[in-house]
Structures are given as structure tokens and as C-alpha cells.
Amino acid sequence: MNLTVANLDAIYLQALCCWREARGEAPETQRAQIWSVLNRCAVAAWWNHNIANDPVEVILMPEQYSAFNVGDPNATKFPHSSDAVFKEIKLLVLSPGDDPTGGATHYYSGDVVPDWAAAMQHTVDIGNLRFFK
């Protein structure tokens, strides 16, 4: 990815989303989380919104990435400028490699299965995240 002024917001927001949602996970799991955003961007009319190729719109769509939901404990957390994990995540955003999720657009962690998962195809488990498309 070429770094330009036009895409700085998207790069930072993708890294922040991953840091908030997967900072305690291994880099491969963080890469998979990043790909969930990229895969949503690749769907031309995801959820009947014209947000293709716009990670900012994908991430900030209400009730999608929990770390941006009002009341979520991660919603007010920001990495310190010296945070080594955030630095590594930014590098993953800039060079995400191949998609390890099998095209997944959604994931969850924990023991409670979200309602949406029943209507989707499970693709892979990576770290503590279960991925679906």
C-alpha cells in the first residue's frame, strides 16, 4: 500500500480497530482481524451501503466492530505512541499479506455465539477469534 495523505485516516483507523479488538492476540490473528475489514471493503454493497473500498465507513458503521460501540470498554482506549504492538499492527495494515480467513467478513470471540453466526459460513478459527462469511 502506498502511503498518501488521502489514506492516512484509513490506515490509522484500521490499526486502531485491530489494536482495540486483537492487541492481546498473535500477529496472525491480528492479520486476520485486518482482513475482516478488507473483505468487507471488497463487497460492493455490503449491508446495502455503498461503502466499497472504504475502511473508515466499514469500521465506523454502528454495531459492527464492538471496540467502536458506545459503552464498550475498548471504545475509549488509545495506544501510547511507544506501544510496540500498535507499531507492529500498523505494519500489518500496510502489508497485510494473504487473507488467512477464507474471505471472512465477520468474527467473534468468547463462548457466546452471536445470532448472526447461524446464518453465515464458518471459515476458520485463528487464535481466539472465529471467522465467518
Pull the grid cell for residue 45: 454493497
Mean of the per-residue pLDDT values for the chain? 90
One-letter-per-residue 3-state SS of 110-121: CCCCCHHHHHCC
Residue with the larger pLDDT of the pair 105 and 9: 105
Q: Tell me the mean pLDDT in the region 123-127.
A: 98
Asked whether residue 38 carries a pLDDT value surpassing 80, the answer given is yes
Domains contained in the chain, CATH given:
5-98 (1.10.10)
DSSP 14-26: HHHHHHHHHTTS-
- Give the closest residue to 33 by CA, choosing from 14, 46, 51: 14
Please state the φ and ψ torsions of residue 83, each to the nearest 5 degrees: -65, 110
Asked whether residue 50 carries a pLDDT value surpassing 70, the answer given is no
> pLDDT over 70 for what percent of the chain?
88
